[in-house]
Amino acid sequence: MEQKASKSELYLKQREEIVKKDRKDYFCVDVPSLTEEEKKADESFLKIKEELLSDGKMPFLDNYYKSFPVISSSKLFKSLHKMPKGAHLHLHMTAASRIDFLMEIAKEDCVYYNESLNLCKVFVENEPEEGYKKCSEIRENWDKEGTFDDFLQDKILLNEEDVSSKHSNTIWSKFQPKFDVTFDLYNYEKFFERILYQVMIDHIEEKCFILEFRHIFGCIFNDKHEVISLEDELALFNRCIEKVKEVEPSFSLKLISCGLKIVGEGHINSQLKSCIEGLKKTKIIAGFDLVCEEEITPPLLTFQNLIRLAQEDEETPVNVYLHAGETSSRFGENVYDAVILGTKRIGHGFAIQNHPHLIEIAKENEICLEVCPLSNLILGYTYDLRWHPARSLMYRGVPLTISADDPGFWKSHGTTLDYCYIALAWELTLKELKQFAINGIKHAALNDTEREKQREKFDEEWTKWIEHLNSQE
């Protein structure tokens, strides 16, 4: 009997050691354990999740268009909307608006639509181009099924058919043109300012007080449809930030200026110049990034000279926050270049799962991945969120944050919905949710004092959320 007990003890000891070693790198470095209050709140959070999972249902496994109405109207969504998010570090400005807000903008008198080109345009002082009709007139004379606004909304959003392929490249062929449909709606300066303000307010409402936008300089235009100067563009941002600070003094907005790889070196060079000029004039620029569908556009390697030159600028060295590793191909090597170029964070970066040495470098140098779960699901990089690479990277100790990328094209905004899906698919507890949020603050482009203040604000808000969960039945 005694011998049996000791064999059993030995077994359990061996088991415990293996589990300990296996979990030694788990990413919850700042949240080793939960307080008693948090543990209680975690129990009620689990109950909220289970409401969605009753009778063996797993809505997060359904296709997005089936799961979206269920999850976005759930108690889980309402609860996570109140959860402080830390920061939202990967959001493209021209894909950030709530669709209902953008549709309100499209009702303005200066908005025109060309049905054969499927493009919205704004004409204020300029004569409307041929083929464009005022939306207000189209709306009035609409004789097709449904309303014109429903029709236009469908043209703006990615729909179920657009994303029905299992090949990301086919989905991108539907996705990329969406930026053209809405280009004028976002980039007319008066609209831009309204959208920017509303996006920031929406973030404050979902308890996110740090926002970093990917932004392309030189697109915003005035009443004459002329591109406004960099000074005016920066002034617009600063004006809007001041206005938002009246609502929430702790709110922080930074820009990551972007170049489109597909347009080529000349464009990248001029975007880098604007970035450097902007850095001299304002504190709202965090750095630079290169964007576009990774698998069909030139690799980062092509632009390394340009980037290194900008990084070596004596007066205003440019930090980089590069998109890389948003690919399912084993031949994608951008993650190597992003790391060598000293990227502060990696946009997406999930392909790093295939590069054990880069994982070690990311851990050592605290290079955080901006994980965008729903974007990856919708654009066909993963079909089942349970197997999203980020889930295994959590066990390997890679710093991760959660972002939405282009939520405006799939009827979402902010990061609440992304958190809902991963809370379910990755079976998250408050421990992981808190670490994701803290990582946002740790890896945001802030100075030490700003970071400390944001952490204090987060702790206050987190306590409120825990109290809220504990006040639930």
When the beta carbons of 405 and 432 are compared against Zn ion, the nearer one is: 405
When the beta carbons of 212 and 432 are compared against Zn ion, the nearer one is: 212
Residue range at the interface with Zn ion (CB under 5 A); choices 5-13, 69-77, 152-160, 399-407: 399-407
Note whether 371 and 348 are within 8 A (CB).
yes
**Phi, psi of 214, deg, nearest 5:** -80, 130
When the beta carbons of 162 and 293 are compared against Zn ion, the nearer one is: 293
**Phi, psi of 379, deg, nearest 5:** -85, 10
Neighbouring C-beta atoms of residue 105, cutoff 10 Å: 22
Taking phi over 0 as left and psi of -120 to 50 as alpha, with beta for the rest, 196 belongs to alpha
Residues 40-69 that bind Zn ion (CB under 5 A): none
Distance CA 49, CA 58 (A): 11
- Identity of residue 203: H
Residue range at the interface with Zn ion (CB under 5 A); choices 199-207, 258-266, 274-282, 397-405: 397-405
CB of 212 to Zn ion, least distance (A): 11
Distance CA 343, CA 346 (A): 7
CB of 428 to Zn ion, least distance (A): 23
CB of 142 to Zn ion, least distance (A): 35
CB of 325 to Zn ion, least distance (A): 12
Q: Retrieve residue 261's tokens.
A: 């790889």
When the beta carbons of 94 and 429 are compared against Zn ion, the nearer one is: 94
Distance CA 353, CA 94 (A): 29
Distance CA 233, CA 268 (A): 18
CA 259 centroid distance within chain: 18
**According to the 3-state scheme, what is the secondary structure of 415-436?**
CHHHHHHHHHHCCCCHHHHHHH
When the beta carbons of 34 and 292 are compared against Zn ion, the nearer one is: 292
Which residue of the chain is nearest Zn ion when measured via CB? 405
Helix locations, 53-209, DSSP H: 64-72, 75-82, 99-105, 135-140, 148-156, 168-175, 178-181, 183-187, 189-205
Asked if 405 touches Zn ion (CB under 5 A), the answer is yes
When the beta carbons of 84 and 287 are compared against Zn ion, the nearer one is: 287
Residue range at the interface with Zn ion (CB under 5 A); choices 196-204, 228-236, 262-270, 404-412: 404-412
Q: What is the CA radius of gyration of the chain?
A: 23
Residues 262-291 that bind Zn ion (CB under 5 A): none
Number of residues that bind Zn ion (CB under 5 A): 1
Distance CA 299, CA 419 (A): 31
When the beta carbons of 76 and 346 are compared against Zn ion, the nearer one is: 346
CB of 280 to Zn ion, least distance (A): 26
Distance CA 241, CA 262 (A): 31
CB of 405 to Zn ion, least distance (A): 5
Is the Cα dihedral 213, 219, 225, 229 positive or negative? Answer: positive
Note whether 384 and 362 are within 8 A (CB).
no
Q: Retrieve residue 98's tokens.
A: 């709530």
> Binding marks (x or -) toward Zn ion, 352..391, rule CB under 5 A?
----------------------------------------
When the beta carbons of 162 and 405 are compared against Zn ion, the nearer one is: 405
CB of 166 to Zn ion, least distance (A): 21
Residue range at the interface with Zn ion (CB under 5 A); choices 73-81, 105-113, 398-406, 452-460: 398-406
When the beta carbons of 49 and 323 are compared against Zn ion, the nearer one is: 323
CB of 403 to Zn ion, least distance (A): 8
Residues 3-32 that bind Zn ion (CB under 5 A): none
CB of 290 to Zn ion, least distance (A): 11
Residue range at the interface with Zn ion (CB under 5 A); choices 103-111, 308-316, 402-410, 440-448: 402-410
Residue range at the interface with Zn ion (CB under 5 A); choices 42-50, 64-72, 400-408, 417-425: 400-408
Residue range at the interface with Zn ion (CB under 5 A); choices 26-34, 233-241, 405-413, 415-423: 405-413
CB of 382 to Zn ion, least distance (A): 15
Note whether 217 and 230 are within 8 A (CB).
yes
CB of 230 to Zn ion, least distance (A): 23
Beta strands in 301-351 (DSSP E): 322-324, 345-348
When the beta carbons of 293 and 405 are compared against Zn ion, the nearer one is: 405
Note whether 112 and 134 are within 8 A (CB).
yes
Residue range at the interface with Zn ion (CB under 5 A); choices 133-141, 142-150, 403-411, 464-472: 403-411
Distance CA 25, CA 397 (A): 5
CB of 420 to Zn ion, least distance (A): 20
Helix locations, 141-297, DSSP H: 148-156, 168-175, 178-181, 183-187, 189-205, 230-247, 265-281
Asked if 293 touches Zn ion (CB under 5 A), the answer is no
When the beta carbons of 168 and 429 are compared against Zn ion, the nearer one is: 168
When the beta carbons of 38 and 405 are compared against Zn ion, the nearer one is: 405
Distance CA 137, CA 211 (A): 38
Give me the residues that bind Zn ion (CB under 5 A), please.
405
